[in-house]
Amino acid sequence: MVEVARFAVERVEILRPDGTLAAPLPAWAEQPDELIRLYRGMVLTRTYDTKAVNLQRTGRLGTVASSLGQEAVAVGTAAAMRPEDVLLPSFREQGAMFWRGVRIEELLAFWGGDERGSNWAEAREDFPICVPVGSHAPHAAGVACAFRLRHEPRVAVCVLGDGATSKGEVYEAWNLAGVWRLPMVTVVNNNQWAISVPRSAQTAAETLAQKAIACGMPGVQVDGNDVIAVREVVGRAIERARSGEGPSLVEAVTYRLSDHTTADDARRYRDDAEVSTHWKEEPVARLRSLLVARGLWGKEREEALVAGCNREVERAVEAYLARSPAPASDMIDHVFASVPEPLAPQREAILRRAAARAAGAEGAAR
């Protein structure tokens, strides 16, 4: 019996739940503005989530997935990216999407049932939200492959959940990225739950980071409630990929404080007790403690920030609610670059039906 390979998985922690330091701050984090930007990103995200859930409850928005308690993963990841990198999000990365320039009203439009919401004005190359779990991982490999073939120093960043790590195409994409040394970084948002299925029922692997070993790439675990550590560890992974050293995986360990979505009732399958213990570790208060301890933050600044975020979200909600409806023909006009001749009659039929519906509505109104 001879040993032919050995591996270790490491975990990075910087900011403790109580706001004290478990390790020295990275240089960039010594700059107050950097920390405050991260803080603002998380607060804005939480403000949006609260509002979105409220809009859904009051029938003005469809099902939405809150990222309550997980803001550090999305914000820290986006903060580590360059604008020219490409984000391939799952459905809980609003914090990253806003950071990258997606407008709040655009995201609201999407969850409000309007495809135009995915045709956002900034970050044009970023992928739309991916609902079929894990199915965007191969796309990330493709985007990374494009960068590699064009010799561009850009990175494809894929974010997916603990549940998604059970999907075969995720493994396949990682395996390809490994063997082709593609500039692809995957952030596994391990929030401990896939709807009602706990992480422990998803895999027997001690960590999700070690799944990288199967694909011949590095995997590391980070405290996902510590935005500084996330930003730092994901940043290293991204710069490693950018410099041609290949893909890697970052497992960000966090916790889903909210229901899975507004369509879910987590009380059916987990104890409030479990949830409240995790409230002690949530990322926003944690960073605030550091800011306060360093004298960078106080009551006024907090109130101003909260008020600003509220205003920004409110304005976006108004814009969202004021959107004019899209023409029904949109549903076929964008299926192909141009409507194929054989489908022209269907386009007509769509317009006729839309007219009939409108007439019907009027009829009902009268």
Partner 1 sequence: MSSMTLVEAVRAALARALEEDPTVLLLGEDVGRDGGVFRATERLFERFGPERVLDTPLSEALFTGLAVGLGAQGFRPVVEFQFDGFMYPALDQLLNHAGRLRARTRGRLSCPIVLRAPYGGGIRAPEHHSESPEGLFAAIPGVRTVIPSSPARAYGLLLAAIRDPDPVVFLEPKRIYRAVREELEDDGRALPLDRAFVLREGRDLTIVAWGALVREVLEAADRLAEEGARAEIVDPATLAPLDAATILASVAKTGRCLIVHEAPRGHGPGAEIAAILAEEGLFSLLAPVARVTGFDAPTPLPRLEGVFLPAEVDILEAAHRLLAHR
Ligand X SMILES: Cc1ncc(C[n+]2csc(CCOP(=O)(O)OP(=O)(O)O)c2C)c(N)n1
Residue type, 263: A
Of 5-13, 186-194, 325-333, 341-349: span binding ligand X (CB under 6 A): 186-194
Q: Which residue has the tokens 């987590």?
A: 266
State in angstroms the smallest separation of the CB of 142 from partner 1: 2
Closest to ligand X by CB, 195 vs 307, is: 195
By the rule CB under 6 A, 201 interacts with ligand X: no
Rounded Cα distance between 19 and 25, Å, is 12
Q: How many CA atoms does the CB half-sphere of 258 hold within 13 Å?
A: 19
Residue 256 interacts with ligand X (CB under 6 A): yes or no: yes
Q: Are 274 and 257 in contact (CB under 8 A)?
A: no
Active site residue 260: yes
Footprint of Mg ion on residues 188-247 (CB under 5 A)?
Answer: 191, 194
DSSP-derived pairing of the beta strands 197-198 and 193-194: antiparallel
76 binds Mg ion (CB under 5 A): no
Q: 273's torsion region: left (phi>0), alpha (psi -120 to 50) or beta?
A: alpha
221 versus 291: smaller Cβ distance to Mg ion: 221
Q: Which of 117, 134, 161, 178 binds Mg ion (CB under 5 A)?
A: 161
Collapsing DSSP states into helix, strand and coil, what is residue 90? coil
**Given candidates 162, 223, 232, 281, which one binds Mg ion under the rule CB under 5 A?**
162
Measured distance CA(33)–CA(226) in Å, rounded? 17
CA 99 vs CA 144, 156, 303: distances in Å: 21, 16, 21
State the catalytic residue, choosing from 269, 294, 315, 357.
269
- Using rule CB under 5 A, residue 69 touches Mg ion: no
Size (the chain), residues: 366
Q: List the catalytic residue out of 46, 199, 256, 286.
A: 256
Q: How far apart are CA 333 and CA 349, in angstroms?
A: 13
Instruction: Pick one of 164, 184, 208, 237: the residue that binds ligand X (CB under 6 A).
Output: 164
Specify the residue, 102 or 194, whose C-beta has the smaller distance to ligand X.
Answer: 194
Applying CB under 6 A, which of residues 22, 23, 131, 335 lies at the interface with ligand X?
A: 131
In the complex, least distance from residue 176 CB atom to its own copies, rounded to whole angstroms:
8
Burial 139-174 (b: 16+ CB within 10 A, else e): bbbbbbbbbbeeeeebbbbbbbbbbbbbbebbbebb
The first and second tokens of residue 42, run together, are: 């998380």
User: Active site includes 269?
Assistant: yes
Shortest distance (Å) from residue 190 CB to partner 1: 13
* Contact residues: its own copies, CB under 8 A: 1-13, 23, 166-172, 175, 178-179, 181, 200-207, 209-217, 221, 246
> Minimal distance in Å, beta carbon 257 to ligand X?
12
Which token pair is 142? 């493709």
Q: Which residues are designated catalytic?
A: 256, 260, 269
The residues binding ligand X (CB under 6 A) are 92, 131-133, 161-164, 189, 191, 193-195, 256, 260
